[in-house]
A and B are shown apart, each in its own frame.
Chain A
Amino acid sequence: MNAQFDPVTLWTVIIGMAVGSFALRFVFIGLVGDRPLPAWILRHLRYTAVAIIPALVAPLVVWPPATGGAPDTARLAAALVTAATGYATRNVLAAMFAGAGTLWALLYLTG
Chain B
Amino acid sequence: MTSTTVNSFFAKGFRDGLPFILVAAPFGTLFGVLATEAGLTLFETMVFTFTVFAGAAQFTALQLMQQDTPTLIVLVSALAVNLRVAMYSASLTPYLGAAPLWQRALAAYFTVDQSYACSVVQFETEPRMTVHQRMAYFFGVVAPLAPTWYAATFAGAALGKTIPESWALDFVLPIAFIAMVAPMLRTRAHLIAAAVSVVVVLLGAGIPHNLGLILAGLAGMIAGACAETVIEGRAAE
Q: Say whether A associates with B.
A: yes
Chain B 56-106 interface residues, beta-carbon cutoff 8 Å to A: 56-58, 60-61, 63-67, 71, 74-75, 77-90, 92-94, 96-97, 101, 104-105
Minimal Cβ-Cβ distance residue in A for B175:
A99
B-side interface mostly: helix
Q: CB < 8 Å: which of A25, A40, A53, A82 contacts B175?
A: A82
Distance of A63 from chain B, by nearest CB (Å): 8
Chain B residues, Cβ within 8 Å of A109: none
Distance of B49 from chain A, by nearest CB (Å): 10
Knowing A14-B48, A44-B221, say if A5 contacts B183 (CB, 8 Å): no
Residue in A57, A86, A87, A100 whose Cβ sees the most chain B Cβ within 10 Å: A57
Task: Check if B85 sits within 8 Å of A54, measured CB to CB.
Answer: no
Q: Report the Cα distance A84→B38, complex, angstroms.
A: 29
Chain B 196-237 interface residues, beta-carbon cutoff 8 Å to A: 196-198, 200-202, 205, 212-213, 216-225, 228-229
Task: Check if B197 sits within 8 Å of A51, measured CB to CB.
Answer: yes
Q: Report the Cα distance A78→B174, complex, angstroms.
A: 10
Q: CB < 8 Å: which of A34, A46, A74 contacts B228?
A: A46
Chain B residues, Cβ within 8 Å of A61: 174
Chain A residues, Cβ within 8 Å of B221: 44, 47-48, 51
Knowing A21-B53, A22-B109, A24-B86, say if A48 contacts B80 (CB, 8 Å): yes
Distance of B81 from chain A, by nearest CB (Å): 5
Knowing A96-B179, A100-B172, say if A25 contacts B51 (CB, 8 Å): no
Knowing A14-B52, A83-B178, A93-B26, say if A56 contacts B65 (CB, 8 Å): no
Distance of B88 from chain A, by nearest CB (Å): 7
Q: Which of B9-17, B120-128, B146-154, B186-194 contacts A (4 or more CB under 8 A)?
A: B186-194
Task: Check if A3 sits within 8 Å of B39, measured CB to CB.
Answer: yes
Task: Check if B217 sits within 8 Å of A99, measured CB to CB.
Answer: no
Chain A residues, Cβ within 8 Å of B51: 14-15, 17-18
Q: Quick check: is B22 within 8 A (CB to CB) of the other chain?
A: yes
Minimal Cβ-Cβ distance residue in A for B79:
A20
Q: Report the Cα distance A101→B219, complex, angstroms.
A: 33
Minimal Cβ-Cβ distance residue in B for A95:
B179
Task: Check if B202 sits within 8 Å of A14, measured CB to CB.
Answer: no
Distance of B79 from chain A, by nearest CB (Å): 5
Chain A residues, Cβ within 8 Å of B61: 13, 17
Q: Quick check: is B23 within 8 A (CB to CB) of the other chain?
A: yes
Q: Quick check: is A32 within 8 A (CB to CB) of the other chain?
A: yes
Q: Report the Cα distance A1→B161, complex, angstroms.
A: 11
23 contacts between A and B (CB under 8 A): A9-B71, A20-B79, A26-B108, A27-B89, A29-B107, A29-B108, A43-B228, A47-B189, A50-B224, A51-B197, A52-B77, A52-B213, A53-B56, A53-B60, A54-B197, A55-B220, A56-B77, A58-B201, A85-B179, A86-B180, A87-B183, A87-B185, A90-B183
Q: Which residues of A contact B (CB under 8 A)?
A: 1-5, 9-10, 12-18, 20-22, 24-30, 32-34, 37, 40, 42-66, 74-75, 78-79, 82-87, 89-93, 95-96, 99-100, 103-104, 107, 111
